[in-house]
Amino acid sequence: NAGVTQTPKFQVLKTGQSMTLQCAQDMNHNSMYWYRQDPGMGLRLIYYSASEGTTDKGEVPNGYNVSRLNKREFSLRLESAAPSQTSVYFCASTPGWGDWGYTFGSGTRLTVV
């Protein structure tokens, strides 16, 4: 089925370790986003890419980096994981300007111990 694919689905990291969360969409969407969901906080935007070749910070970018590898793929990297980064991470995509049809992936549950 067409959509947004995130890998891995679950991950446990030790404090200080690094990892990359992968996201790919096969809908030819221009814009891609990374959100984190924490209890009582809703979804908060970490980084986004309005189009291939561009990336911008969202509300909570500290401790993260992103790469828009091509039109399909948008990865999120934690260089030195901290317990405060324990969360569920969602990748999303939209066709582009003026279209609010966000499609979300199923999420990556990350625990940092």
Partner 1 sequence: DQQVKQNSPSLSVQEGRISILNCDYTNSMFDYFLWYKKYPAEGPTFLISISSIKDKNEDGRFTVFLNKSAKHLSLHIVPSQPGDSAVYFCAASGGEKGAQKLVFGQGTRLTINP
> Which residue number, 14 or 40, has a Cβ lying nearer to partner 1?
40
Residues of this chain that interact with partner 1 (CB under 8 A) are 4, 31, 33, 35, 40-45, 48, 50, 56, 58-59, 90, 92, 94, 96-97, 99-102, 104-107
Whole-number Å distance between alpha carbons of 25 and 58: 20
> Which residue number, 16 or 96, has a Cβ lying nearer to partner 1?
96
Residue 102: C-alpha distances to residues 29, 47, 59, 75 (Å): 10, 15, 18, 17
> Which residue number, 14 or 39, has a Cβ lying nearer to partner 1?
39
